[in-house]
Structure 1
Amino acid sequence: MAPVVLLVLIAVVAGRTAVRGHPGDGTPAARFWEAALPGSPMPESIADLVQKGTDHSPLAEHRSAAMFLPNACLGYKYDIQCGKPPPASTQAAPAVEGIFFREAAMRVGSTMTVALPAAVPAAFLPRDVAGRIPFGNLTDALATFSIAPGSQEADQLSNTVRECAAPPLAGERKACATSLEGVVLSATRMLGTRRVAAAASALPSTGLPRAVYVVQATSPLGGSRFVACHSRPYPYAVYQCHMTERSSKAYVVSIRGGLRGDPTMDMAALCHFDTSNWNPAHPAFKILRTHPGGSPVCHFLPYADLLFGEKKANA
């Protein structure tokens, strides 16, 4: 990207005035969300990323490779790379033993062991700014953000570009989006309706320590088709959204720690009832002692991932 263009983009972001209060309030992304998803408040984690993209543009404040953390291997395909032991100089790969569970574990009053890794997803660029940065050209991305070719960060960017370009699995629809508006539009197009509700896990970005949590309430998200959107490693927010026609259910599960004063957290959860086309090496099969096509696999969504579903008829 030419230096002049980059300076223009930085100036566009730096010139925006942040509206204080709820993170992201007053931004074009927040107004779009309210218009597109009435009655479905923007999750705090997403609003925070919107505000960060306004106050501290990734174009002006590059972040180091240590900030790019892999996801928790939640795709159907299971990227084998996320199961490789990391080099000694990098952070440990996220533990997935506390992410996957069986549907019966969501019964009210049940206890479940939960652990979710810390996450520092990239900030959302304003839609008009993101639209001026060509996505998919790795050489341009490395030059724009001064990332050394062959570095760990460059490898992660390469994986994101490759995953976004890869064709969907049989029976799957997928898309990558580089703005929050693009994420919402991708989800509504896949679902084929504008009556859409959104959910995200309300946990801190520092993750959840491995502990026993008590299920306080379980509520179905509604509908029979769902779109999950996962944050991918990139200097600015890139989300990979996918939907499968195979049977699944989505829930919002309220869990609370066992100590007095522990807060109750609403967690977005997705259960897959047909895993016949999943990679046999997927960690969920080992953790839940099942196999492709076996018993259903459920999982919580990590910090700042999004889940979309059709609204209930009376909503």
Structure 2
Amino acid sequence: MHASTSALSVLPFPINLQPIRFCYHQLANSELQKIKYLSVVMEFRFSKMFAFLTLTTLVAMASHAAAVRQPLPQLSYWNSVLPNTPMPKAFSELVHPGDLVSKNFLRPAGAENQLDKATDALGPCAGLVLMEKDLRPGKTVKYGFPRDTTSKSSRFVSRPTAESIPFSSNKMEEILRRFSLRPESAEANTIKETIDYCEMPAMKGEERYCATSLESLVDFATSELGSNIRTMSTEVERGANNDVEQTYTITDGVKVLAEDKVVTCHKMSYPFAVFLCHAIEKTRAYMVPMEGADGTKANAVIICHRDTSKFAPNNWGLSQLHLKPGEGPLCHLLSDGHLTWLREKNLDDHYIVSVA
């Protein structure tokens, strides 16, 4: 006998257990039905939630894919203004999503400071200068072609962002505050040097402009040359010793790319990409093939200013050639990170220079 039955047997009155058992089973069945109902409801709600999350994920993925497919504003602007002009690598590798600024825009210790050699005519190109008469096969020059990896850390920001940040020597405090830089830091000094150089007055016969966005750079180039233009830059076979100075020999195939007006742009040191662009009257552009003593081949873009009469007496390039203003053409090689704009018709009409 069960303990519960024994306990009931001592009661002074009889008890019918059948209704109790019935109620118990009914209650149990009711709770079971509730559990089953809740299970169905939860399963339905979970399936709806899963479907919603799946749909949300798919929408987000589609939006991301559409954003990836949609060109960046700088690229869209380039293609709308210059539909027939391929964007050079010197620009395309500086165009990225977002408006990030760099705090690693200084040149490594010991690297050549381009601004030390900058002049009102040459711009911060420095490097190799030579006479126009020396642009002929067989001529040898001492040079190295270092790749300017530091300047590529500073990328283009969008035009609205660039225009929202002051670019003036009168606004240095605000500029340094925007970039979270101390006034006594090396970065602050570099920013000041760049802005001061950009604010230098143009010499007679020169148009100059510091572009703080790709869009404003395109605007300047097209205002000077029109929209049927193309860019050219120095190309070098990249090797382990490109930055080491060696003897290069000019080989056959020196070509004149432009005889009249060109726009030359130089990358400046700044937290985001800034290019000094200028056009000088009576300027000729050459493509000069070279071969190094170690076999390295290069196609160098060389810009020749044929009228130096307006140049400053202390012009760095003229001093290297022991010339005074107006005594002869001054030519300089465009190094990595610098390029020139030419009218497209010039490229169709270029000709090979005969051996002198």
Instruction: Name the TM tier (shorter chain).
Output: 0.7 to 0.9
- Do the aligned partners of 1:227 and 1:308 also contact (CA within 8 Å) in 2? yes
Aligned to 2:131: 102
Instruction: Establish whether residue 44 from structure 1 lines up as the match of residue 89 from structure 2.
Output: yes
For residues 178 and 204 of structure 2, the distance between their equivalents in structure 1, rounded to whole angstroms, comes to: 35
Match of 2:114 among 61, 71, 74: 71
TM-score by length of 2: 0.66
How far did residue 182 of structure 1 move? 1.4
Q: How does 1:24-39 map to 2 (within 5 A)?
A: 26-39=71-84
Q: 1:313 to 1:114 in 2, by over 3 A?
A: closer
Instruction: Establish whether residue 132 from structure 1 lines up as the match of residue 168 from structure 2.
Output: no
Instruction: Establish whether residue 210 from structure 1 lines up as the match of residue 245 from structure 2.
Output: yes
- Do the aligned partners of 1:226 and 1:249 also contact (CA within 8 Å) in 2? yes
Residue range with higher mean Cα deviation, 289-298 or 279-288: 279-288
Match of 1:286 among 291, 304, 319: 319
For residues 347 and 246 of structure 2, the distance between their equivalents in structure 1, rounded to whole angstroms, comes to: 37
Aligned to 1:188: 222
Aligned to 1:89: none
For residues 293 and 209 of structure 1, the distance between their equivalents in structure 2, rounded to whole angstroms, comes to: 33
Q: 1:314 to 1:179 in 2, by over 3 A?
A: closer
How far did residue 132 of structure 1 move? 3.2
Which whole-Å deviations, capped at 9, do the CAs of 1:219-277 have from their partners, x for residues lacking one?
Answer: 222351111111222110111111122x21012223222324x3x32222100111122
Q: 1:289 to 1:198 in 2, by over 3 A?
A: same
Amino acid at match of 1:28: P
Match of 1:243 among 269, 274, 279: 279
Q: 1:209 to 1:36 in 2, by over 3 A?
A: farther
For residues 173 and 201 of structure 1, the distance between their equivalents in structure 2, rounded to whole angstroms, comes to: 23
How far did residue 69 of structure 1 move? 6.9
For residues 74 and 179 of structure 1, the distance between their equivalents in structure 2, rounded to whole angstroms, comes to: 22
Instruction: Establish whether residue 156 from structure 1 lines up as the match of residue 185 from structure 2.
Output: no
How far did residue 33 of structure 1 move? 3.2
Aligned to 1:91: none
What's the RMSD between the two structures over aligned residues?
3.4
Matched-pair identity in %:
28
Instruction: Establish whether residue 226 from structure 1 lines up as the match of residue 262 from structure 2.
Output: yes
Ranges of 4+ aligned residues in structure 1 off by more than 4 Å: 15-20, 66-69, 203-207
* Alignment size in residue pairs: 274
For residues 81 and 263 of structure 2, the distance between their equivalents in structure 1, rounded to whole angstroms, comes to: 16
For residues 296 and 18 of structure 1, the distance between their equivalents in structure 2, rounded to whole angstroms, comes to: 50
Amino acid at match of 1:153: E
> Which protein is richer in helix relative to its size?
2
Q: Which has the larger radius of gyration?
A: 2
Amino acid at match of 2:276: Q
For residues 192 and 81 of structure 2, the distance between their equivalents in structure 1, rounded to whole angstroms, comes to: 32
For residues 223 and 188 of structure 1, the distance between their equivalents in structure 2, rounded to whole angstroms, comes to: 18
TM-score by length of 1: 0.74
